[in-house]
Amino acid sequence: MANKIQMVDLKGQYLKIKDEVDAGIQNVIDNTAFINGPIVKDFAQHLSEYMGGCHVTTCANGTDALQIALMALELKPGDEVIVPAFTYVASAEVIGLLGLTPVMVDVDYDTFNVTVDNIKKALSPKTKAIIPVHLFGQSCDMEPILAFAKEHNLYVIEDNAQAIGAVYTFSDGHKAKTGTMGTIGCTSFFPSKNLGCYGDGGAIFTNDDALAERIHMIANHGQRVKYHHAVIGCNSRLDSIQAAVLDVKLRHLDEYCKARYEAASYYTKQLKAFDPEEKYFITPKELPNSTHVYHQYTLKIKNGKRDELKNFLAEQGVPSMIYYPLPLQEQEAFKTITRAGEALDKSRECAYSVLSLPIHTEMTKDVQDMVIKNVINFFAR
Ligand SMILES: *Cc1c(COP(=O)(O)O)cnc(C)c1O
């Protein structure tokens, strides 16, 4: 079973940085500063430098990051927050949790991301914020979204859980990391994310000094001074062991992004050679103004063959995953709390046709060839 193909090879990745990671973890244990140890501050500082100098507040997970972002913006029950219908549930769950109203908008079929045109259709006098999700590792087309938000006085919270390290280029040529363009950016350090720890973790980004202070306070029981609570907050912390792991992995993040990109390019080249006219499937589309860090390599399978292909691959020992099988509008939990929107057809089409292939930082050509061969075999039968 040693060569079993995996969706993500966290063990292989760990073995390459084992000495650094083990030393970092041992150091935390030796110092017993398990919560708010110096390494948490160091990591936040290094992450800030990596992201281009924004404020960084670390927290317990990516879902908390989104929740704290919404709390910091002081939205009120009934306020509407625009969110894509095709995303991981967390992006919308926090909206409902705070008594706000998620208003779902359709995603673009080619990129899986929200577009300003779809956002425009969802605007109402109650709209207060937009949560663009940089799904699967590529930035939403942010320039028009930011312009629209500015025009209508809306906050923008980027859900950057899947795209840390991606870079967006504005029309004037200036570049920004995803997660640093909106009012607030959020990310997750869940183990399988592109920058993942060995447990749970998350972070919140902003360039606004006052907001950063507020975010920090909310993540820490609403206190600025210990035992003096200015607002209702929560308890959301990144622990020192996770920070020690992340501090090591951050140094490798660009190389990890590159490895994922190369693996994705190889998939696309081989798969397109087999199906140049997209008779059977559609390979991921890359935007000219964003890099792609391929958190997932996601095909759209045509002619209703997705589930059959998935089963076929599984029989051949090739894992694949469906991210995500239902659009939000078809989730039981969201039916009653959402202002009825448009048809959301593309989100539905995505949910019913997507299939993600194994991709990670330790991919070899041999493994990829196995995956590709089996995909081709299925359609060539
Ligand atoms: C993983 C993820 C989250 C939530 O992160 P957790 O750390 O699991 O809470 C939120 N949004 C998206 C798009 C994600 O992929």
Residue 3 maps to a domain: no
Ligand 1 centroid to 202 CA: how many Å? Answer: 9
Rounded CA separation 260/294 (Å): 6
Boundary of a domain, candidates 233, 250, 267 = 250
Report whether residue 91 contacts ligand 1, using a CB cutoff of 6 Å: yes
Contact in structure between 58 and 238 (CB atoms under 8 Å) = yes
C-alpha 105 – ligand 1 centre gap (Å):
19
Torsion of CA 89, 90, 94, 97, to 10 degrees: 50
Q: Which atom of ligand 1 is nearest to the CA of 188?
A: 7
Has residue 296 got a pLDDT over 60?
A: yes
Q: For residue 276, what are the contacts with CB-CB under 8 A and spacing of at least 6? A: none
Q: What is the per-residue DSSP string for 170-185?
A: -TTS-EEETTSSSSEE
- Residue 178 is assigned to a structural domain of this protein: yes
Do 195 and 271 have their domain in common?
no
Is the minimum distance from the CB of 161 to ligand 1 under 6 angstroms? yes
Let me know whether 246 and 321 are in one domain. no
The DSSP letter of residue 115 is -
The pLDDT of residue 338 is 77
194 in contact with ligand 1, CB cutoff 6 A: no
Q: What is the mean pLDDT of residues 298-316?
A: 98
Q: Which of 209, 226, 250 is the last residue of a domain?
A: 250
- pLDDT exceeds cutoff 50 at 2: no
pLDDT tens-digit map of 214-245: 999 999 999 988 999 999 999 999 999 999 99
Q: What is the CATH number of the domain that holds 344?
A: 3.90.1150.10
The answer to whether 13 touches 236, Cβ cutoff 8 Å, is: no
Ligand 1 centre to CA of 90 (Å) is 6
Q: Same domain for 183 and 40? A: yes
pLDDT class of 340 with cuts at 50, 70, 90: low
User: Of ligand 1's atoms, which has the minimum distance to the CA of residue 193?
Assistant: 1
Q: Which residue has the higher pLDDT, 142 or 2?
A: 142
Sequential DSSP letters for 357-368:
EP--TT--HHHH
Backbone angles phi, psi at 66, to 5 degrees: -65, -40
Select from 188, 215, 250 the last residue of a domain.
Answer: 250
Write out the H or E segment, with its range, that includes residue 64: helix 62-72
**Cα of 39 from ligand 1 centre, angstroms:** 23
pLDDT tens, 37-94? 999 999 999 999 999 999 999 999 999 999 999 999 999 999 999 999 999 999 999 9
Q: Relative to the CA of 134, which ligand 1 atom is closest?
A: 13
Residue 22 lies in a domain: yes
**Which of 199 and 334 is assigned the larger pLDDT?**
199
Q: State whether the beta carbon of 133 lies less than 6 angstroms from ligand 1.
A: yes
- pLDDT one-digit tens code per residue, 308-334: 999 999 999 999 999 999 999 999 999
- The pLDDT of residue 141 is 98
- Residues 238, 267, single domain; the answer is no
Distance 351 CA to ligand 1 centre (A): 17
User: How many domains does one find in the chain?
Assistant: 2
pLDDT attached to residue 324: 96
Question: pLDDT, tens digit, for every residue of 89-140?
Answer: 999 999 999 999 999 999 999 999 999 999 999 999 999 999 999 999 999 9
Looking at the structure, do residues 205 and 261 belong to the same domain, yes or no? no
Look at residue 130 and tell me if it is in a domain: yes
What is d(CA 346, CA 334) in angstroms, rounded to the nearest whole number? 18
pLDDT(254) > 70: yes
Whether residue 149 sits in one domain with residue 289: no
Tell which residue, 253, 177, 250, 233, has the closest CA to residue 64. 233
**2 domain residue, yes or no:** no
Is the beta carbon of 111 within 6 A of some atom in ligand 1? no
Atom of ligand 1 nearest to the CA of 202: 7
Specify whether 30 is located in the same domain as 42: yes
Q: Same domain for 243 and 276?
A: no
User: Is 309 in the same domain as 346?
Assistant: yes
Same domain, yes or no: 39 and 80:
yes
Q: Please work out, in degrees rounded to the nearest 5, the angle formed at the alpha carbon of residue 48 by the alpha carbons of 141 and 26.
A: 125
User: Do 236 and 317 have their domain in common?
Assistant: no
**Domain span including residue 326:** 253-380
In a domain, 204, yes or no: yes
- Number of the ligand 1 atom closest to the C-alpha atom of 190: 7
**Does residue 202 have its Cβ closer than 6 Å to ligand 1?**
yes
Nearest ligand 1 atom to alpha carbon 66 = 10
CATH of the domain at 140: 3.40.640.10
Distance from the CA of 185 to the center of ligand 1, in angstroms? 12
Distance CA 24, CA 30 (A): 10
| 62 CB within 6 A, ligand 1 | yes
For residue 63 and ligand 1, the question of a CB distance below 6 A is answered with yes
Q: Same domain, yes or no, for 233 and 361?
A: no
Question: Do the bridges between strand 202-206 and strand 223-225 make them parallel or antiparallel, or are there none, so unpaired?
Answer: unpaired
Mean pLDDT of the chain: 96
The pTM of the whole model exceeds 0.75: yes
Q: Are 114 and 139 in contact (CB under 8 A)?
A: no
Give percent above pLDDT 70 in the chain. 99
Distance from C-alpha of 96 to C-alpha of 136, rounded to nearest angstrom:
23
Whether residue 4 is contained in a domain is answered as no
Structure tokens at 106: 């359709």
Which residues lie below 8 Å from residue 23, measured CB to CB, with a gap of 6+?
A: none
Cα(279)–Cα(304) distance, integer angstroms:
12
Both tokens assigned to 101: 């109203």
The answer for residues whose C-beta is within 8 angstroms of residue 258's C-beta and 6 or more apart is: none
Name which of 205, 196, 186, 179 is nearest 56 in CA terms. Answer: 205
d(CA 268, CA 280) in angstroms, rounded, equals 14
Asked if residue 60 is part of any domain, the answer here is yes
* C-alpha dist (Å) from residue 286 to 113, 148, 217, 237, 272: 12, 23, 38, 35, 14
Q: Which of 114, 188, 295 to mutate to test the pocket of ligand 1 (most atoms within 8 A of CB)?
A: 188
CA distance 127 to 79: 6
Closest among 374, 364, 272, 280 to 320, alpha carbons compared: 374
Atom of ligand 1 nearest to the CA of 189: 7
CB 175 within 8 A of CB 167: yes
Distance 89 CA to ligand 1 centre (A): 8
Minimum-distance ligand 1 atom for the alpha carbon of 295: 15
Q: Does 88 contact ligand 1 (Cβ within 6 A)?
A: yes
The pLDDT value given to residue 3: 66
Mean pLDDT of 205-213: 98
What is the structure's pLDDT at 341? 63
pLDDT digits (tens, 9 = 90+) for 345-370: 999 999 999 999 999 999 999 999 99
Q: In one letter, which amino acid is 20?
A: E
